[in-house]
Every structure is written in C-alpha cells, then in structure tokens.
Amino acid sequence: MTLRALGLAMTATAALSLAGCGTLHRFDPVPVRQADGQIRPTVDPRIRPTDEAKLNELLRTFAARLEDENSSGAVLALSGGGANGAFGAGLLVGWTQTGTRPQFDIVTGISTGALSAPFAFLGPDWDDELQEAYIGGGIDGMLNLSGLSILVSPSLYSSAPLRRLIEENVTPRLLRAVAIEHAKGRRLLVVTTHLDTKQSIIWDMGVLATQGDDQALYLFRQVLLASASIPGVFPPVMIAGLQGDLVVDEMHVDGGVNMPFLAVPDRLLVDSPARTGPGRPAIYVVVNGQVDANPQAVPGTFNAIAMNSYDSMSKASRRMHLTANAAYAARHNIDLKIASIPMDAQAGSLDLHQQAMNALFDLGRRTALGGNAWYVLNAGSGPQTLLPERPLPDELQPTP
C-alpha cells in the first residue's frame, strides 16, 4: 500500500460523512482511576498555547539547555510520517553504530515520531526496543479493513493493533527510565492536536513518568496513541482534562495536523533574544518523509487529486517549518541539521507491510552509516551557510 491508500481513505471518509455514518459518541468524561478506585492527583503534563506560565517555563528550559556549557546542547525533533517512521528508527540505530550519536537534551515527537521518541530519548541502550517496535512484525497488516465496521466508526481502521503495539513497548520499566532522565533536566515532549480547540498540545512526558503509577502509564500510552492517530484513518482518542474544577472530554488526534515537527517552539521563533552562550548547539530534525517536490502529471481522478493534494500540502508544510527553524538557527549561532528520505526511495506513509517497513529501516540505517544523512545549515559561518555534507534540495536553498 502506498500514499494511494490515503486518497482512498479520504474518499471513503468523505462519503461516510455525507451519509451521516460513523459517528463517535461522546460521553460524560470520567477521570482516569487507579485499580483501587482512587483518583491520584498529579501535575497536568499538558502545555497549552494559552497556558502562559507553562509555556514560558518550556521556553526557559529550551533556551537554558542551549546555553548550558555542561549540557550537550543537542535537540532532536522527530516528525510525523506514518510508516515512514521506520526510516527515522533505522537512522537512529545506524547513528549509534557510527559512535557519533549525542545524548539529546530535548527530544520531541509527533505522530510516528512520538512512537519512537521515548526510545530516542533513552538513548542507544534502547535501540533493540526501538527496532522491535518498527520491524518486529507488530505493525504488519495494521491497516486491514474490517468489513462494515466503518459504517459505525469515525475511521476506516481500528486503532486496536496500534494500541496493542504501544502497550507492549511502553512498559513500567520504560517509564522509570524516562523519569530518571527527566530528573536530570532533560525533556521528552510529544504533540497532539486538540480538535475541540484546534490547538497543538505539548505533553511533558517526563512529568507523567515521574508520577509512575498505573494512571500515569495509561495516560502516557493514550498520548502516544493520540499523537499517531491520523484523522479518518484511526479514530480520535478521548482524554479527560480539566477546565478549572470541571472534568471535560477532550478529542485528540495526530499532532501532525497542525505542525509536521516540533524543533523550536513557535514563541521562540518570532520573539527571543540572541543566544550568547559558548559552543555551537545543534538541532537535529528527522523528517520521516520526503522534502523535495517531485513533479508528475496527475490523473484526473478523485483519488489521484486527493492523494497528490495531501502530498503537496504536507511537503509545503515541512519546507515552511524547516525554513522558519533555519532562520532561528542562523540568528542564534546554532547548527540546524536535517535528515529526510531520499527522493529516489520508495516511501509511503500508509505502507505498513513488513517488507516495506524493513526496507525503510535498512535505508535509514545505511544512510547514517554512510555519513551522508544530514543537510546542514551552519549558522556559525554566516546566515544559512551550507556545510558540504549533503546539498540542500532546491526548495530550501538560501535566498541570495
């Protein structure tokens, strides 16, 4: 299955919408409870755009990690991309094998990037678990249509296989390991889209891991599931939240709806003092997809038009966000390094067959081992000066 499947998904979803079928019934929300029936209070891990205190704390943390001469000064952003996340997973494993992979101070994940982010955050010791999650066979056949179930569901596919995969890999042991790293000042962030407010929500996963109980484990898994739930393909994830003292039912979906990746928070992109700290920090962005445009004649069918429109929209969003982050890096003497799937590779965000996933994982690993994984913007030698590791695609070339 290739991106054509997404066109089919959009077609079917539109048809079902017109028919008034596939409604998700929303019930009165109930807070997550422990097995003993008690609600355990915890710090809310959500960082909403309207929450000035939490957002400012995140911005201070981000800036401080880039300034701290005792930290690695490295940020890793893992993008969405569905099945293409196997490329990013393979790249991380191959990077470990080169012996040059840094410890990241901040790791962020969106969609498929959210699934790999905890393993990337915990470092090379968790590469086996990362590899197993993507090419261990748990994903194969995940997009199998289940008869007439789409007539009573808000999506084409059940999220049950994805939920099982997350439950198998996100364990109490993983939460304990995340909590230990969180206590050192490192941060693991995952993004979902809150459809009710149309806003991106950043989740501080270390806050959940530090709580460490069954309630935290359940919500940790729910956030990962929500971030990876492509609308129309998988159903939304309902998460209980608070508005004052009122418990509300929040609908969360793929974090990639609003942004392809989270490298530099939006507030810092437009309003931040120049960085003056020593050294040259680096922001690494793994794009689980292709950045370049690939011109081709589009057939005049609905599916082809829908598929290519989505593909064009996704690539334009990636380029826009990469350009904005490159401008920030240039102003602050930071290296922005970008890895993406080569344009000559076969890649499809919904091709979840094991053979395709294995091929993408191997491509990512070989790319890292070959030493040519990154497009590099070296702000230290002047605005958007290119290092000769790998040329940028035309769309990202600096304007003379």
Task: Indicate which CATH number applies to the domain containing 251.
Answer: 3.40.1090
State the pTM of this model.
0.82
Whether the Cβ atoms of residue 111 and residue 81 lie closer than 8 Å to each other: yes
Q: Does residue 394 belong to any structural domain of this protein?
A: no
Residue 16 clears pLDDT 70, i.e. is over it: no
Give the model's pLDDT for residue 361.
92
Kindly provide the b/e burial profile for residues 248-262, where b requires at least 16 CB atoms within 10 angstroms of the residue's own CB.
eebbbbbbbbbbbbb
CA distance 2 to 20: 28
The answer to whether residues 326 and 384 touch, using CB atoms and an 8 Å cutoff, is yes
* Domain with 136 in it: 40-140+155-385
What's the DSSP call for residue 112? H
355-387: per-residue pLDDT in tens?
A: 888 899 999 999 999 888 888 754 444 333 333
23 falls within a domain: no
pLDDT(216) > 70 = yes
Domains contained in the chain, number: 1
Torsion from C-alpha of 398, 74, 80, 341, nearest 10 degrees: 60
Q: What is the arithmetic mean of pLDDT over 289-314? A: 74
* 117 close to 190: Cβ distance less than 8 angstroms: yes
Tell me whether residue 395 is in a domain.
no
The mean pLDDT of 245-270, rounded to a whole number, is 85
The gap from C-alpha 258 to its chain's centroid, in whole angstroms, comes to 11
Strand (E) or helix (H) holding 189: strand 187-194
Q: Is the pLDDT of residue 98 over 50?
A: yes
Q: Which has the closest alpha carbon to 371: 161, 99, 175?
A: 99
The predicted pLDDT at position 287 comes to: 93
3-state secondary structure of 389: coil
Task: Report the pLDDT value the prediction gives residue 19, as an integer from 0 to 100.
Answer: 38
* Of 110, 99, 253, 117, nearest in space to 174 by CA: 117
- Out of 105, 127, 204, 254, pick the active-site residue: 254
Region of 73 on the Ramachandran plot (φ > 0 left; ψ -120 to 50 alpha; else beta): left
The Cα–Cα gap between 104 and 86 comes to 20
Structural domain includes residue 27: no
Provide the 3-class DSSP secondary structure of residue 46. Answer: strand
Rounded to 10°, the helix 127-135/85-98 angle is 150
Torsional class of 333: left (φ above 0), alpha (ψ -120 to 50), beta (otherwise): left
Domain contains 26? no
Residue 392 lies in a domain: no
Say how far apart CA 168 and CA 225 lie, in whole Å: 13
The yes-or-no answer on residue 111 being catalytic is yes
Confidence of residue 245 (pLDDT cuts 50, 70, 90): low
Q: Kindly give the residue spans of alpha helices, DSSP state H, lying in the chain.
A: 4-19, 52-67, 85-98, 112-122, 127-135, 160-169, 172-183, 205-211, 214-227, 266-270, 302-331, 354-369
The residue annotated as part of the active site, out of 71, 79, 111, 159, is: 111
Residue 13 lies in a domain: no
Distance from C-alpha of 8 to C-alpha of 16, rounded to nearest angstrom = 12
Across 269-278, average pLDDT: 69
Q: Has residue 169 been placed in a domain?
A: yes
User: In terms of pLDDT, which residue wins out, 396 or 306?
Assistant: 306
Q: Which residue has the higher pLDDT, 209 or 44?
A: 209
What's the mean pLDDT in 167-187? 95
Q: Does 30 score more than 70 pLDDT?
A: no
Q: What is the pLDDT of residue 303?
A: 64
More confident residue, 201 or 265: 201
pLDDT higher than threshold 70 for residue 354: yes
Q: Is the pLDDT assigned to residue 29 strictly greater than 60?
A: yes
User: Which phi and psi angles does 135 have, rounded to 5°?
Assistant: -125, 20
pLDDT confidence bin for 324, thresholds 50/70/90: confident
The DSSP output letter for 298 is P
Half-sphere exposure of 245 (CA within 13 A, CB side): 0
Asked if residue 108 has pLDDT above 90, the reply is yes
- Contact residues for 150 (Cβ-Cβ < 8 A; gap 6+): 12, 16, 21, 22, 156
What mean pLDDT is predicted for residues 121-139? 89
Q: Which long-range contacts (CB under 8 A, 24 or more apart) does 33-37 make?
A: 33/215, 34/213, 34/214, 34/215, 35/214
Length in residues, the chain: 400
Q: Is residue 72 very low, low, confident or very high in pLDDT (cuts 50, 70, 90)?
A: low
Q: What is the pLDDT of residue 392?
A: 47
Please give the pLDDT value at position 247.
75
